[in-house]
A and B are shown apart, each in its own frame.
Chain A
Amino acid sequence: MPGDLKGEAIAIAVVTGALILVLPLVIGTYTLTVLAIYGMLGLSLGLIWGFGGILCFGQAAFFGLGAYAYAISAINIGESTIPMFLAVLVPAVFAVFLGAMMFYGRLNDVYLGVITLVVTLILFKVINSTAGPQYMIGNARLGGFNGIPGFQTLNVPGRPDAYIWGDSYFYVCAVLLGFVYLLVTVLLRSSFGRIAVGIRENEVRMSLMGYDVRARKTVMFAIGAAIAGLAGGLFANWAEIVTPNLFSLGQSAEIIIWCIVGGLGTRLGPVLGAAGLAYLKFLLGQQAIIDNALVTGLILVLFVLFLPKGVVPALSGLWRASFGRRAPGRIRQRRRSRHRERLNG
């Protein structure tokens, strides 16, 4: 297996590199940056939902927490390196507590959805009502519905004057997306990832086999939150302002739609779904005839009806049907049995 992983790592690097070179010729880097960020956010839910079996209606909460953690600490510190780490850490720690409460409380999927949804709403309400000057964290005014503008944006680590913006910022975001994608790949190939998929399939069986399902789901939930938080921190840098709308229900719903349209249970699906739908929204935003939400809703309905597995699984199924004679698993098995024969003889 390590050989396969190496190949995949090279493929990810090559594809990321090629896209970084080609895409700016078609779409402006300012738009591409946010597409990459949304891709990362989609990947975070795609990981915990598609592979961990945890349907979180509040992935936006971690996105928003990451953005606010970055903005608040950037104002207080005046340099971006530590705030970027906090953007990952704060949502992850929050998710550990929230996840432990839900999973150790043996809540079923429906309540999990309700709780994550309500937590998002609470964060939205709380942040929204912090408009007064008394709501300060250090030097940062929370600003209520106006949000927090004017914080230190990303700089070269250790050099607060050397801002990373424009095209360079796009490169940073795209490389980070490729890096996170690689991390997710490594995670899913590790024992932890394979066990997580087993838990998605059958929790009772996995616990009868001796796995602590509660602890493993909590860790998985926190990893998803960390990735969403990183995306949030990057988003704060891109938008140069953070507002309570980051926590909105609309944002949470959109992430779920990205995953459904792109394809659950794949790594690429949620990334493509996120970038594709976000770009569509961007294009639709330039005209006023059709409402944005209407189109997103229509796409979701059409996918659920006609392509319920999503784009990527459908395409890879088509690819296998037309080019691959054998399922890849069988080829690998053959190779392995041949290898065994060689060992025996």
Chain B
Amino acid sequence: MAEVALETQGLTMRFGGVIAANRVDFKLRARELRCLIGPNGAGKSTFFKCITGLQSPTEGEVYMRGIETTGWMPHQIASLGVGMKTQTPNVMDSLSVHENIWLAARRFHDSREADRKTLEIIDLLALGGIARDDLGRLGHGERQRVELGLVAVGDPWLILLDEPAAGLGAEEVERMTAIIHELNRQAALVIVEHDMQFIRSIAETVTVFHQGKVLIEDHVDRVMSDPVVSNVYLGKKS
């Protein structure tokens, strides 16, 4: 069995009376690509935030490569080599694309090496033409791509992406797919997505969340044809 990149045991998050995540057991192998789907409020983003330390879970444990990281601060988890893209673009708007990526690279490399890595990522993501522009003035798709660059430049072995394809055009989605496959050669990925076509094109295994719980976890084709899934997620009566 391959190495386990991420594991949660009985992960539970309560907000007052609301249970956003309810005893989630989740396991991700190294270099696996997993999609999380589920209707709004199913607890996907909460699950993400508990893993990255943005929230600490009420109960349960999180393990990364066998190290327990429950209750760690986000920067400690990131320092292990975990990259995350949040649902809304979370970038440094008044700084240039180059500076944004450089800051991400600098965390893991010295100043000169960070310069080199930055140029490398800018080439990889085809951001050369806008490298000196302030991020705040760029379009949504470009910002999404830059944020992916921020994640990728740290050479993470675990990447968590919250809706990377949201609001992107068809061409940009294609490019995003290529980038994700590129990242997947080094890292395990967990991707929260709504775009079914996008999921079909990248995923093998899909985990479906519903009301804070894992509803089903299976191959993408079987999940898509599952009557319970289409009932809760696609809102169809089967």
Partners in one complex: yes
A interface with B by C-beta (< 8 Å):
191, 194-195, 197-198, 201-202, 204-213, 327, 329-330, 333
CA A315 to CA B94, docked complex, whole Å: 19
Query: Which residues of B are interface residues toward A (Cβ below 8 A)?
Result: 52, 54, 73-75, 78-79, 83-84, 86, 90-96, 99-100, 102-104, 106-108, 111, 131-132, 150, 154
A207, B104: Cα distance in complex, Å: 10
- With both beta carbons as reference points, the residue of chain A lying nearest to B81 in the complex is identified as A210
Q: How far is the CB of A106 from chain B (nearest CB, A)?
A: 10
Whether A209 and B95, one on each chain, are in contact in the complex, defined by CB atoms closer than 8 angstroms, is no
Query: Nearest chain-A residue to B160 (Cβ)?
Result: A208
* B75 partner, pick from A194, A198, A212, beta carbons under 8 A: A212
Closest to A332 in B: B132
A191–B92 CA distance with the chains assembled, in angstroms: 16
- Whether A191 contacts B90 in the complex (CB less than 8 A), given A198-B95, A207-B78, comes out as no
Which residues on the B side are within 8 Å of A191 (C-beta)?
A: 106, 111
- Least CB distance, B169 to chain A, in whole angstroms: 24
A-B contact count (CB 8 A): 71
Closest CB of chain B to A215's CB: distance in Å? 9
Contact A205 B92 (CB under 8 A): yes
Contact indicator B75/A213 (Cβ below 8 Å):
yes
Q: Is the CB of A194 within 8 A of B102?
A: yes
Partner of A209 from the list B54, B73, B154 (CB cut-off 8 Å) is B154
For residue A195, which residues in chain B have a CB less than 8 angstroms away from its CB? 103, 106
| Distance from B219 Cβ to chain A, minimum over Cβ atoms (Å) | 31
Cβ of B90 and Cβ of A209 under 8 Å apart? no
Query: Chain B residue with minimal CB distance to A194?
Result: B103
* Shortest Cβ gap from B205 to chain A (Å): 25
Residues of chain B contacted by A329 (CB below 8 angstroms) = 96, 132
Q: Decide yes or no: A204 and B92 within 8 Å by CB, A209-B103, A212-B75 being known contacts.
A: no
List 6 extra interface pairs beyond A202-B93, A204-B54, A204-B90, CB under 8 A.
Answer: A197-B92, A198-B95, A198-B100, A201-B94, A202-B90, A207-B78
Which B residues lie within 8 Å of A209 (CB)? 75, 78, 103-104, 107, 150, 154
B73: chain A residues at CB < 8 Å are 207, 212
Bound-complex Cα distance A213 to B74 (A): 10
Report Cα–Cα, A201/B134, bound state, in Å. Answer: 12
